[in-house]
Amino acid sequence: MSRWFPVDGTPGGVTGDVVRRFVATLEARDWDGWSALLHEDVVYELPQTRERVRGRDTLLRFNREFPGDWHLRAKRVVADGEHGVLWLAARVGDSAEGDAVAFLTVVDGLVTEVVEFWPAGYEPPPGREHLTERW
Amino acid sequence: MSRWFPVDGTPGGVTGDVVRRFVATLEARDWDGWSALLHEDVVYELPQTRERVRGRDTLLRFNREFPGDWHLRAKRVVADGEHGVLWLAARVGDSAEGDAVAFLTVVDGLVTEVVEFWPAGYEPPPGREHLTERW
Protein backbone atom coordinates (compact mmCIF):
# COMPACT_ATOMS: atom_id res chain seq x y z
CA MET A 1 0.00 0.00 0.00
CA SER A 2 1.52 3.29 -1.08
CA ARG A 3 1.50 6.18 1.33
CA TRP A 4 1.90 8.96 -1.20
CA PHE A 5 0.50 10.15 -4.48
CA PRO A 6 3.43 10.46 -6.90
CA VAL A 7 2.31 13.64 -8.57
CA ASP A 8 3.94 17.07 -8.70
CA GLY A 9 4.27 18.82 -5.38
CA THR A 10 3.80 15.67 -3.33
CA PRO A 11 6.47 13.42 -1.82
CA GLY A 12 6.18 10.72 -4.50
CA GLY A 13 6.66 13.30 -7.22
CA VAL A 14 9.55 14.83 -5.34
CA THR A 15 11.24 11.43 -5.15
CA GLY A 16 10.96 10.92 -8.89
CA ASP A 17 12.33 14.40 -9.52
CA VAL A 18 15.23 13.89 -7.12
CA VAL A 19 16.08 10.56 -8.72
CA ARG A 20 16.12 12.09 -12.21
CA ARG A 21 18.24 15.02 -11.04
CA PHE A 22 20.57 12.60 -9.22
CA VAL A 23 21.62 10.94 -12.47
CA ALA A 24 21.50 14.11 -14.61
CA THR A 25 23.82 16.08 -12.30
CA LEU A 26 26.12 13.08 -11.92
CA GLU A 27 26.41 12.66 -15.68
CA ALA A 28 27.05 16.43 -16.01
CA ARG A 29 29.71 16.36 -13.25
CA ASP A 30 27.62 19.14 -11.68
CA TRP A 31 29.10 18.38 -8.27
CA ASP A 32 27.40 21.28 -6.49
CA GLY A 33 24.03 20.31 -7.93
CA TRP A 34 24.58 16.66 -7.16
CA SER A 35 25.72 17.06 -3.59
CA ALA A 36 22.82 19.45 -2.93
CA LEU A 37 20.54 16.42 -3.44
CA LEU A 38 22.31 14.41 -0.73
CA HIS A 39 21.56 14.31 2.97
CA GLU A 40 24.65 15.12 5.03
CA ASP A 41 24.56 11.59 6.51
CA VAL A 42 23.76 9.75 3.28
CA VAL A 43 24.81 6.09 3.23
CA TYR A 44 25.87 4.45 -0.05
CA GLU A 45 26.17 0.67 -0.26
CA LEU A 46 27.46 -1.78 -2.85
CA PRO A 47 26.22 -5.20 -1.68
CA GLN A 48 28.26 -7.03 -4.34
CA THR A 49 31.57 -5.86 -2.86
CA ARG A 50 30.22 -5.30 0.65
CA GLU A 51 31.46 -1.69 0.50
CA ARG A 52 29.81 1.20 2.29
CA VAL A 53 30.48 4.94 2.02
CA ARG A 54 29.18 7.19 4.77
CA GLY A 55 28.40 10.90 4.50
CA ARG A 56 27.93 13.42 1.71
CA ASP A 57 31.50 14.67 1.63
CA THR A 58 33.01 11.21 1.37
CA LEU A 59 30.48 10.11 -1.25
CA LEU A 60 31.22 13.23 -3.28
CA ARG A 61 34.91 12.34 -3.19
CA PHE A 62 34.15 8.71 -4.09
CA ASN A 63 32.39 9.87 -7.24
CA ARG A 64 34.75 12.69 -8.17
CA GLU A 65 37.70 10.33 -7.89
CA PHE A 66 36.02 7.48 -9.71
CA PRO A 67 38.36 6.62 -12.59
CA GLY A 68 37.53 6.51 -16.28
CA ASP A 69 35.38 8.48 -18.69
CA TRP A 70 32.14 7.07 -17.22
CA HIS A 71 28.69 7.96 -18.49
CA LEU A 72 25.27 7.26 -17.04
CA ARG A 73 21.84 7.34 -18.66
CA ALA A 74 18.51 6.72 -16.94
CA LYS A 75 16.65 3.92 -18.70
CA ARG A 76 13.79 3.83 -16.21
CA VAL A 77 12.80 5.76 -13.10
CA VAL A 78 10.26 4.25 -10.73
CA ALA A 79 9.27 6.24 -7.65
CA ASP A 80 6.81 5.49 -4.88
CA GLY A 81 6.74 7.53 -1.68
CA GLU A 82 10.24 7.65 -0.20
CA HIS A 83 11.53 4.95 -2.56
CA GLY A 84 13.05 5.60 -5.96
CA VAL A 85 14.64 3.16 -8.37
CA LEU A 86 17.03 4.00 -11.18
CA TRP A 87 17.67 1.56 -13.98
CA LEU A 88 20.84 2.89 -15.56
CA ALA A 89 22.74 2.33 -18.76
CA ALA A 90 26.40 2.83 -17.93
CA ARG A 91 29.46 2.94 -20.14
CA VAL A 92 33.11 3.90 -19.86
CA GLY A 93 34.41 5.80 -22.87
CA ASP A 94 33.29 3.99 -26.01
CA SER A 95 32.46 0.71 -24.27
CA ALA A 96 29.10 -0.94 -24.81
CA GLU A 97 26.44 0.12 -22.33
CA GLY A 98 25.87 -2.15 -19.35
CA ASP A 99 23.05 -2.16 -16.83
CA ALA A 100 23.14 -0.86 -13.29
CA VAL A 101 20.39 -0.46 -10.71
CA ALA A 102 20.21 1.97 -7.81
CA PHE A 103 17.64 1.92 -5.01
CA LEU A 104 17.35 5.35 -3.44
CA THR A 105 15.58 6.54 -0.32
CA VAL A 106 14.51 10.18 -0.43
CA VAL A 107 13.34 11.93 2.75
CA ASP A 108 12.23 15.56 2.69
CA GLY A 109 13.73 15.95 -0.78
CA LEU A 110 17.17 14.63 0.17
CA VAL A 111 18.78 11.30 -0.68
CA THR A 112 19.47 9.45 2.58
CA GLU A 113 20.39 6.04 1.17
CA VAL A 114 21.63 4.54 -2.09
CA VAL A 115 22.05 0.81 -2.67
CA GLU A 116 23.60 0.09 -6.04
CA PHE A 117 24.00 -3.07 -8.11
CA TRP A 118 26.32 -3.64 -11.07
CA PRO A 119 25.25 -6.96 -12.60
CA ALA A 120 27.88 -8.45 -14.90
CA GLY A 121 27.30 -10.78 -17.80
CA TYR A 122 27.68 -14.53 -17.46
CA GLU A 123 27.08 -17.65 -19.50
CA PRO A 124 23.65 -19.25 -19.01
CA PRO A 125 23.63 -22.61 -17.26
CA PRO A 126 22.91 -25.56 -19.57
CA GLY A 127 19.53 -27.29 -19.64
CA ARG A 128 17.14 -24.51 -20.57
CA GLU A 129 18.03 -23.90 -24.20
CA HIS A 130 14.68 -25.42 -25.23
CA LEU A 131 12.83 -22.59 -23.41
CA THR A 132 14.98 -19.58 -24.22
CA GLU A 133 16.21 -17.55 -27.14
CA ARG A 134 19.45 -15.51 -27.06
CA TRP A 135 20.25 -12.04 -28.27
CA MET B 1 5.99 12.66 -14.23
CA SER B 2 3.78 9.86 -12.93
CA ARG B 3 0.55 9.14 -14.73
CA TRP B 4 -1.18 7.27 -11.93
CA PHE B 5 -1.93 7.57 -8.27
CA PRO B 6 -0.57 4.40 -6.61
CA VAL B 7 -3.43 3.88 -4.19
CA ASP B 8 -5.92 1.04 -3.90
CA GLY B 9 -8.23 0.60 -6.83
CA THR B 10 -6.06 2.61 -9.21
CA PRO B 11 -3.48 1.35 -11.73
CA GLY B 12 -0.47 2.22 -9.55
CA GLY B 13 -1.94 0.33 -6.63
CA VAL B 14 -2.79 -2.60 -8.87
CA THR B 15 0.84 -2.75 -10.03
CA GLY B 16 2.13 -2.93 -6.46
CA ASP B 17 -0.40 -5.64 -5.63
CA VAL B 18 0.48 -7.65 -8.74
CA VAL B 19 4.19 -7.39 -7.97
CA ARG B 20 3.68 -8.60 -4.40
CA ARG B 21 1.48 -11.48 -5.56
CA PHE B 22 4.02 -12.32 -8.27
CA VAL B 23 6.69 -13.16 -5.70
CA ALA B 24 4.32 -14.65 -3.10
CA THR B 25 2.77 -17.13 -5.56
CA LEU B 26 6.18 -17.98 -7.00
CA GLU B 27 7.60 -18.71 -3.54
CA ALA B 28 4.50 -20.81 -2.76
CA ARG B 29 4.80 -22.73 -6.07
CA ASP B 30 1.18 -21.67 -6.59
CA TRP B 31 1.52 -22.14 -10.33
CA ASP B 32 -2.13 -21.45 -11.11
CA GLY B 33 -2.05 -18.25 -9.05
CA TRP B 34 1.26 -17.20 -10.55
CA SER B 35 0.39 -17.80 -14.19
CA ALA B 36 -2.94 -16.00 -13.69
CA LEU B 37 -0.87 -12.83 -13.15
CA LEU B 38 0.89 -13.19 -16.51
CA HIS B 39 -0.20 -11.87 -19.86
CA GLU B 40 -0.38 -14.63 -22.46
CA ASP B 41 2.40 -12.91 -24.43
CA VAL B 42 4.61 -11.99 -21.46
CA VAL B 43 8.29 -11.52 -22.27
CA TYR B 44 10.95 -12.37 -19.69
CA GLU B 45 14.52 -11.18 -20.17
CA LEU B 46 17.84 -11.83 -18.44
CA PRO B 47 20.21 -9.18 -19.83
CA GLN B 48 23.23 -10.75 -18.11
CA THR B 49 22.94 -13.95 -20.14
CA ARG B 50 21.10 -12.35 -23.07
CA GLU B 51 18.31 -14.92 -22.64
CA ARG B 52 14.68 -14.28 -23.45
CA VAL B 53 11.59 -16.39 -22.73
CA ARG B 54 8.42 -15.65 -24.67
CA GLY B 55 4.89 -16.43 -23.57
CA ARG B 56 3.11 -17.47 -20.37
CA ASP B 57 3.24 -21.21 -20.97
CA THR B 58 6.97 -21.26 -21.69
CA LEU B 59 7.73 -18.97 -18.75
CA LEU B 60 5.69 -21.19 -16.47
CA ARG B 61 7.74 -24.17 -17.63
CA PHE B 62 10.99 -22.21 -17.19
CA ASN B 63 10.12 -21.59 -13.54
CA ARG B 64 8.61 -25.00 -12.77
CA GLU B 65 11.70 -26.71 -14.19
CA PHE B 66 14.15 -24.35 -12.49
CA PRO B 67 16.46 -26.62 -10.48
CA GLY B 68 17.19 -26.42 -6.77
CA ASP B 69 15.27 -25.65 -3.60
CA TRP B 70 15.05 -21.94 -4.43
CA HIS B 71 13.36 -19.38 -2.23
CA LEU B 72 12.45 -15.77 -2.87
CA ARG B 73 11.57 -12.99 -0.45
CA ALA B 74 10.55 -9.43 -1.37
CA LYS B 75 12.88 -6.94 0.31
CA ARG B 76 11.34 -3.91 -1.38
CA VAL B 77 8.48 -3.26 -3.78
CA VAL B 78 8.36 0.04 -5.66
CA ALA B 79 5.45 0.66 -8.02
CA ASP B 80 4.60 3.63 -10.18
CA GLY B 81 1.94 3.44 -12.88
CA GLU B 82 2.67 0.47 -15.13
CA HIS B 83 6.14 -0.04 -13.65
CA GLY B 84 6.93 -2.21 -10.67
CA VAL B 85 10.30 -3.11 -9.18
CA LEU B 86 11.05 -6.07 -6.96
CA TRP B 87 14.19 -6.15 -4.84
CA LEU B 88 14.48 -9.80 -3.91
CA ALA B 89 16.44 -11.82 -1.42
CA ALA B 90 17.06 -15.20 -3.04
CA ARG B 91 18.57 -18.37 -1.67
CA VAL B 92 18.91 -22.01 -2.70
CA GLY B 93 18.39 -24.44 0.18
CA ASP B 94 20.40 -23.23 3.16
CA SER B 95 22.65 -20.89 1.16
CA ALA B 96 23.11 -17.29 2.23
CA GLU B 97 20.62 -14.89 0.71
CA GLY B 98 21.73 -12.98 -2.36
CA ASP B 99 20.13 -10.01 -4.07
CA ALA B 100 18.11 -10.02 -7.27
CA VAL B 101 16.15 -7.26 -8.97
CA ALA B 102 13.16 -7.58 -11.30
CA PHE B 103 11.62 -4.77 -13.34
CA LEU B 104 8.02 -5.60 -14.20
CA THR B 105 5.56 -3.95 -16.53
CA VAL B 106 1.92 -4.43 -15.56
CA VAL B 107 -0.85 -3.52 -18.01
CA ASP B 108 -4.52 -3.97 -17.07
CA GLY B 109 -3.48 -6.05 -14.07
CA LEU B 110 -1.32 -8.48 -16.05
CA VAL B 111 2.46 -8.77 -16.20
CA THR B 112 3.55 -8.13 -19.78
CA GLU B 113 7.32 -7.85 -19.23
CA VAL B 114 9.91 -8.91 -16.67
CA VAL B 115 13.58 -7.92 -16.85
CA GLU B 116 15.60 -9.60 -14.14
CA PHE B 117 19.11 -9.07 -12.79
CA TRP B 118 21.15 -11.43 -10.63
CA PRO B 119 24.18 -9.42 -9.47
CA ALA B 120 27.01 -11.61 -8.17
CA GLY B 121 29.63 -10.66 -5.64
CA TYR B 122 33.08 -9.45 -6.69
CA GLU B 123 36.20 -8.02 -5.13
CA PRO B 124 36.33 -4.21 -5.01
CA PRO B 125 38.93 -2.58 -7.22
CA PRO B 126 41.91 -1.16 -5.33
CA GLY B 127 42.31 2.55 -4.71
CA ARG B 128 39.20 3.49 -2.77
CA GLU B 129 39.86 1.84 0.58
CA HIS B 130 40.33 5.30 2.13
CA LEU B 131 36.70 6.15 1.34
CA THR B 132 34.92 2.87 2.07
CA GLU B 133 34.22 0.48 4.89
CA ARG B 134 33.47 -3.23 4.35
CA TRP B 135 30.91 -5.51 5.90
Cβ distance A48 to B131 less than 8 Å, yes or no, reads no
Name the CA dihedral angle for B101, A35, A109, A6, rounded to a multiple of 10 degrees.
Answer: -40
Cβ distance B122 to A119 less than 8 Å, yes or no, reads no
d(CA B102, CA B27): 15
- Give me the residue from A2, A6, A48 closest to B120, CB to CB: A48
Transcribe B3-51 into DSSP letters.
SS--STTSHHHHHHHHHHHHHHHHHTT-HHHHHTTEEEEEEEEETTTTE
Burial B25-55 (b: 16+ CB within 10 A, else e): bbeeeeeeebbebbbeebbbbbebbebebeb
pLDDT at A28 over 60: yes
| The pLDDT value given to residue A70 | 97
Per-residue pLDDT of chain B (135 residues; tens, 9 = 90+): 344 444 444 445 899 999 999 999 999 999 999 999 999 999 999 999 999 999 999 999 999 999 999 999 999 999 999 999 999 999 999 999 999 999 999 999 999 999 999 999 999 999 999 999 999
pTM: 0.91
- A20 in contact with B, Cβ within 8 Å: no
Q: What is the pLDDT of residues A99-133, one digit of tens each?
A: 999 999 999 999 999 999 999 999 999 999 999 99
Burial class (CB in 10 A: 0-12, 13-18, 19+), B104: buried
Count of beta carbons in the 10 Å neighbourhood of residue B98: 16
- B75 in contact with A, Cβ within 8 Å: no
Distance from CA of A86 to the nearest CA of B (A): 10
Amino acid residing at A87: W
d(CA A110, CA A64): 20
Tell me if A103 sits within 8 A of B76, measured CB to CB.
yes
- A70 in contact with B, Cβ within 8 Å: no
Q: Could you tell me which residues are beta bridge partners of residue A90?
A: A72, A98
Tell me if A13 sits within 8 A of A21, measured CB to CB.
no
Global ipTM: 0.91
Give contacts of A 25-44 with B, CB under 8 A.
none
d(CA A20, CA B48): 25
Nearest to B117 by CA among A86, A44, A82, A130: A86
Cβ distance A76 to B54 less than 8 Å, yes or no, reads no
- A5 in contact with B, Cβ within 8 Å: yes
- A51 in contact with B, Cβ within 8 Å: yes
Q: How many separate helices (H) and strands (E) can be counted in chain B? A: 3, 7
Closest-CA residue in chain B for A121?
Answer: B48
Type and span of the H or E element at A11: helix A11-27
Question: Which residues of chain B lie closer than 8 angstroms to A134, CB-CB?
Answer: 49-52
Q: Indicate which of A49, A52, A77, A104 best probes the interface with B, i.e. most B CBs within 10 Å of its own CB.
A: A49
d(CA A77, CA A88): 9
Burial class (CB in 10 A: 0-12, 13-18, 19+), A117: buried
Question: Which residues of chain A lie closer than 8 angstroms to B78, CB-CB?
Answer: 78-80, 83-85, 103
Cβ distance A128 to B62 less than 8 Å, yes or no, reads yes
- Give me the residue from A4, A6, A51 closest to B134, CB to CB: A51
Count of beta carbons in the 10 Å neighbourhood of residue A81: 22
Give chain A's length.
135
Backbone angles phi, psi at B68, to 5 degrees: 95, 160
